[in-house]
Structure 1
């Protein structure tokens, strides 16, 4: 398994404070290749360029996406990302109440790997990242 320093992570949330917090905490845990975006369209273009090519060195290993964003939701982003790179790991974030038993029914039918509820404890986002990267 690659060390955290070699993993490439993209964080997308329309709130600048959220992406800054996640980027800073992940860097403290040794994840040095963290790109953050507050514009989901710009982020999707970056992802397409990185993961849509056959060159593996610049590929993203994990996406951390807010569900509710303007222009394109985290669901839509994840669906497009999975069509470009079916192996990409996706962590979705939401500030809205979700009942675990009910979440699979209410959430759109799409493939995501983990759901994190905001506000989250800083170490919980790191643990989610560790789980997803360890399962690659």
Structure 2
């Protein structure tokens, strides 16, 4: 089946041509997008939309846990934080509490911003190495 929507084609191509680091960054951004959608839906009283957005954010958090490199010692600490985020999303959804969504978003934002810095540092190193060629 052909994709006729140019935006959908762009999104598909960006996922297919991204590095693993860029894909992780996309996951963080997607998670934040769904947390914000859940908060907005809660504020608007749209419980079904809040629930769907929360479940999408949780699915991304679960994917981030699954893709952790367990050979790296910090992965255990990250797992604990991801579990905390997941718990906050569940509690925010059950209790209709935007503060819990805020806590989850704050941690994911920290991870995202740190990950973005790692990507930029790696790119700088790659380009520096290319200059010597």
Interval of TM-score (by shorter of Structure 1 and Structure 2): under 0.3
